């Protein structure tokens, strides 16, 4: 029995391949290349399917928008816990060393690969435990207009919060995720806030260090 990583790789020297190491490639390039190699679908079809789901929820919940927000979040969570595996299999990105790196991965890789947008990372908290994503050109809400009664309660794209929550939880990051503002509500911009509560250290797979 031998623990391969410890001894023989040192001897044979795998150093020749460091030039193409993913560590040296920018996250933006990684995101773009994987986007190019993904099967795609018309964004408008996606938009209107999501719209049909939200509208069905409105019918069923009799415009109880707080409940609808929760429902969208839960649906997103169920997507996120599965989608993360796909993201990791495609990118094989190493674990982020801090939240700043995580924010870059979410914006330049995750959003890029799945929705072909790269939200700006803004509004860092002083102790760097929270940031916002400025979502422009949100493919979920293209051409959407909210009815008046939904304007101050419905977070139309709340599914995104759920997806991020589920995905981050699977890589052992416990975060609070919510929308702060949405253009659909008449706000200046669409801002999604991610706050790291704690790293679930006990759940990080042994062997990663």
Partner 1 sequence: MAIETILIINKSGGLIYQRNFSDTFASKLNSNDFLIIASTIHSVFAIASQITPKALQITQNNVDYVIPYIPMVGMESSNPQQNRNNNLPVKLGSFKGPDYFKESFVSWNKSGLRQLNSDQFTMYIYQTMTGLKFVALSSNVLANKPASQIGNMDKGKAQNLASQVADNFLRKIYCVYCDYVMKDPFYSLEMPIKSELFDKKVKQMVGNLS
Partner 2 sequence: MDAMISPYATGDNATASSVMSEQHQFQLFEESLRKVNILVFQMLINEIIPLSMGLEKKLERANNDELSDKLSKMEVTEGEESLSTVVPTYNTKDIIPSNELIHELSELKDEDKYNKVIDRVRNIGYQVGNKLSELLIFTNNPNLQFKEMDLLLIMKFICRDVWKQLYGKQIDNLKTNHRGTFYLIDYDYQPIREFCIEENALKKELKLVEPFLEFPVGIIKGVLASLGYSKEQVICLATFIDRPNNDIPDTTFAKGISFHVQITTQNNQ
Shorter beta-carbon distance to partner 2: residue 99 or 193: 193
Binding mask 88-127 for partner 1 (x = CB under 8 A): xxx-xxxx--------------------------------
Shorter beta-carbon distance to partner 1: residue 50 or 77: 77
* CB distance 150 to 66 below 8 Å: no
Of the candidates 81, 133, 87, the one whose C-alpha atom is nearest the C-alpha of residue 110 is 87
Minimum CB separation of residue 61 from partner 1 in Å reads: 23
Residue 68 near partner 1 by CB under 8 A? no
Residue 85 contact, options partner 2, partner 1, none, Cβ 5-8 Å cut-off depending on partner type: partner 1
| Residue 187 CB contacts under 8 Å (≥ 6 apart), including other chains | 181
Sequential DSSP letters for 45-98: HHHHHHHHHHHHHHHHTTT-HHHHHHHHHHHHHHHHHHHHHHHHHHH-PPPPSS
Shorter beta-carbon distance to partner 1: residue 93 or 117: 93
d(CA 190, CA 76): 18
* CB distance 155 to 70 below 8 Å: no
| The only residue of 6, 59, 126, 127 in contact with partner 1, by rule CB under 8 A | 6
Minimum CB separation of residue 169 from partner 2 in Å reads: 7
Residues at the site binding partner 1, with contacts judged by CB under 8 A: 1-6, 8-12, 14-15, 17-18, 20-23, 25, 33, 36-39, 81-86, 88-90, 92-95, 170-171, 203, 205-209
């Amino acid at each position: 029995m031998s623990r391969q990583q410890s001894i023989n790789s040192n001897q044979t020297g795998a150093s020749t391949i460091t030039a193409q190491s993913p560590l040296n490639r920018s996250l933006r390039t990684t995101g773009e290349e994987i986007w190019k190699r993904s099967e795609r679908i018309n964004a408008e079809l996606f938009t209107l399917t999501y719209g049909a789901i939200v509208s069905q929820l409105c019918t069923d919940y009799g415009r109880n928008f707080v409940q609808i927000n929760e429902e969208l979040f839960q649906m997103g969570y169920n997507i996120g816990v599965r989608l993360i595996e796909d993201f990791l299999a495609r990118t094989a990105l190493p674990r982020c060393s801090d939240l700043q790196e995580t924010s870059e991965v979410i914006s330049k890789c995750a959003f890029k690969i799945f929705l072909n947008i790269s939200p700006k990372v803004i509004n860092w908290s002083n102790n760097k435990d929270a940031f916002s994503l400025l979502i422009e050109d949100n493919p979920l809400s293209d051409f959407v207009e909210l009815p008046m009664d939904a304007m101050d309660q419905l977070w139309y794209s709340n599914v995104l919060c759920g997806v991020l929550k589920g995905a981050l939880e699977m890589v052992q990051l416990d975060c609070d995720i919510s929308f702060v503002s949405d253009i659909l509500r008449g706000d200046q911009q669409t801002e999604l806030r991610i706050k790291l509560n704690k790293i679930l250290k006990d759940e990080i797979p042994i062997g990663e260090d």
